[in-house]
Amino acid sequence: MKRLLSAHQATQGTIVDDIRGHAAREPHAPAIVTPQAVIGYRDLADRIEHLARALAAAGVGAESRCAVVAEDGVHTVIAMAAVMRAGGAFLTLDPGQPVQRLHAMVRSVDARFQITTAALAGRFALPVGGPTIMIDRLNDVAGDALPAHVAPRSLAYISHTSGSTGTPNPVMIEYGGLGAYLRFIVTAGGLGPHTVALQLAPFGYDASIRGVFAPLAAGGRLVLLPRSTLLRPAALADAVRDFGANAILSSTPTLLTALAQDEDVAARLRGLDLILCSGESLRPFLTAGGRRLAAGRLVNHYGPTECTITSTCYEVPDQPDTEADLIGTPIDGVTVRLLDQSMRAVPDGAVGEIYIGGAGVARGYGGRPALTAHRFVPDPCGPPGARLYRTGDLARRGPTGILEFLGRNDRQVKIRGYRVEPAEVEGALLSHPAVIGAVVTSAADERGRVHLVAHVTGAPAEITDAALRAYLAETLPPHLMPRRFHRVESIPTTHSGKTDRAALVAHAPAHGGPGA
């Protein structure tokens, strides 16, 4: 089905063109800063160009799917940018995730190229159908001329969401939506050469694309630090001071809550001019008084992966409303409709399901035509060819147009900013030879942090919770790991024969039992 793009979007170049423009105007301005080096815009543009020519020589072009896996942040950024410069599409992988999961992600998109380093080239044995290009082993390559223009409907990147079948769902995002979104972030965030943005989101998580490319598109400075530093609140606060960071563009409320717990850390972070957060409800953070962490602007972003990272945003006032989970209004170029079960618009103040339209709506799920048809639907109120993404989220619109998030209409939950399908965890548990039944529910601790609870039958006491975690860790990333295991003799059911999740939750202990 045809997607609608404005003439302006159709003529703009990619974000890499913006980086090249900054390199031409301010070649020595710092672009990327690490504890080891400072890379200027001209150097960055040259490295991107060099790798892009190697990719083009290897056959990368429009619609080419390239798996990017590197432990060094600079290599990862250059690889993603080089893929865009060559006109291809990147799938960025987190090398810390289980190998089996990485393989499933690569297979799901039929990736034909691998971009990595010499140290990692043989470690994962990714099932790509074409060559491996090693970032740190490049020879001088003339290559064919790189494209002067990339079509806005060409595939830009692929990001995965948790799938109920046990296989991650690949979301296909196009250049038109990505470019429009990042340029909105630059404009709305007031980003520019003065911006010094500390990147927090892990690579492979779509918010990292905002955290990396928005400051570079603005001509600002991107600070890349090891995960070991970012995960320690005091070290992170030191980094903000030492590198002169004034913006964090990709954070989650869970991380902000952890930072706010330490008054000394919170005090050092109040110098930030801008914090953008997304991925889960901000309400628990605000209820706990977290707004004091941000002396500058605190902006709450909402949006599914299927709609290019963010669809609405809300500028949190100094005295926030902690009684409602406010997600704001649609960003530029995005349409948000609240519809009932018959796809009819609900009046202001009434609860409806969130449907999202506009240039950011993804092409669909790679290799999942039935799921694509179910979730990406025609817009009953839009022009011919317009589509909506059915989010499964519920909201209501207030008298000023601000949306209040009211949860989901299915079982999906958000864990540390990641969208989680409990059925995926259940499938992994049921593959254990000792587990007969498994149901996964969600719970919240005293700080409002959401976590998973696994209710299992069949596993004897000698198979400890630690052993179950070790088994799950072979195929599942950390955010899909249950915090607690609840052993039950049988799975209770309702009168209709469905799993009685309410009964499981009611009888589960607040903390792990024997074997934990």
* CA neighbor of 34 nearest in space, from 177, 198, 178: 198
Is 324:292 a contact under the CB 8 Å cutoff? no
* Residue 180 forms part of a structural domain: no
* Residue 66 forms part of a structural domain: yes
Residues 350 and 489 in one domain: no
Size (the chain), residues: 516
Residues 48 and 164 in one domain: yes
pLDDT at 283: 83
Mean pLDDT by 10 residues, the chain (516 residues): 41 85 97 97 97 94 96 96 97 92 93 94 89 88 79 96 75 97 96 97 92 98 94 92 96 85 88 92 83 91 96 95 92 96 94 95 96 95 91 94 88 82 84 88 85 91 92 92 92 69 84 41
* Residue 168 forms part of a structural domain: yes
d(C-alpha 135, C-alpha 52), whole Å? 10
pLDDT at 261: 79
- Which tokens in the block code for residue 335? 């349409």
* Residue 239 forms part of a structural domain: yes
Residues 235 and 168 in one domain: no
d(C-alpha 13, C-alpha 164), whole Å? 37
Using the Cα atoms of residue 365, residue 368, residue 372 and residue 375 in order, give the sign of their dihedral.
negative
d(C-alpha 86, C-alpha 429), whole Å? 41
d(C-alpha 304, C-alpha 40), whole Å? 33
Q: What are the backbone angles phi and psi of residue 214, rounded to the nearest 5°?
A: -65, -50
d(C-alpha 137, C-alpha 276), whole Å? 36
- Domain endpoint, select from 411, 438, 466: 411
* Cβ-based neighbours of 80, under 8 Å, separated by 6 or more: 68, 90, 92, 157, 209, 212
Residues 1 and 101 in one domain: yes
Residues 395 and 466 in one domain: no
Q: Which DSSP string do the residues of 3-37 spell out, in sequence order? A: ----HHHHH---HHHHHHHHHHH-TTSEEEE-SS-
d(C-alpha 468, C-alpha 431), whole Å? 11
* CA neighbor of 397 nearest in space, from 328, 304, 315: 328
d(C-alpha 29, C-alpha 16), whole Å? 16
Sheet holding 437-444, edge to edge: 437-444, 450-457, 484-487
* Residue 416 forms part of a structural domain: no
- Which tokens in the block code for residue 31? 């672009």
DSSP label of 136 = G
* Residue 307 forms part of a structural domain: no
Is 241:198 a contact under the CB 8 Å cutoff? no
* CA neighbor of 301 nearest in space, from 311, 290, 287, 291: 311
- Which tokens in the block code for residue 136? 């740190």
Work out the number of other CB atoms within 10 angstroms of the CB of residue 423.
Answer: 18
Residues 235 and 334 in one domain: no
pLDDT at 497: 57
- Domain endpoint, select from 140, 173, 206: 173
d(C-alpha 155, C-alpha 150), whole Å? 10
* CATH code, domain with 379: 2.30.38.10
Is 283:325 a contact under the CB 8 Å cutoff? yes
* Residue 269 forms part of a structural domain: yes
**Tokens 């703009």, residue located:** 12
Q: Please count the helices (runs of H) and the strands (runs of E) in the chain.
A: 16, 26
- Which tokens in the block code for residue 478? 């950390």
CA Rg, the chain, in Å? 23
Domain region containing 258: 189-302
d(C-alpha 280, C-alpha 314), whole Å? 13
Residues 406 and 432 in one domain: no
CA distances from 356 to 173, 328, 338, 361, 470 (A): 14, 14, 9, 7, 39
Residues 270 and 336 in one domain: no
* CA neighbor of 361 nearest in space, from 303, 443, 445: 303
d(C-alpha 173, C-alpha 89), whole Å? 9
Share in percent of the chain as helix, strand, coil (round to 5): 30, 25, 45
DSSP label of 151 = -
Residues 12 and 42 in one domain: yes
Residues 248 and 387 in one domain: no
- Domain endpoint, select from 173, 204, 235: 173
Residues 52 and 128 in one domain: yes
Work out the number of other CB atoms within 10 angstroms of the CB of residue 40.
Answer: 17
Is 356:304 a contact under the CB 8 Å cutoff? yes
pTM attached to this predicted model: 0.85
* CA neighbor of 256 nearest in space, from 235, 277, 238: 277
Count of domains observed in the chain: 4
DSSP label of 167 = S
d(C-alpha 395, C-alpha 508), whole Å? 30
Strands 387-397 and 376-378: antiparallel
* CATH code, domain with 52: 3.40.50.12780
Residues 141 and 56 in one domain: yes
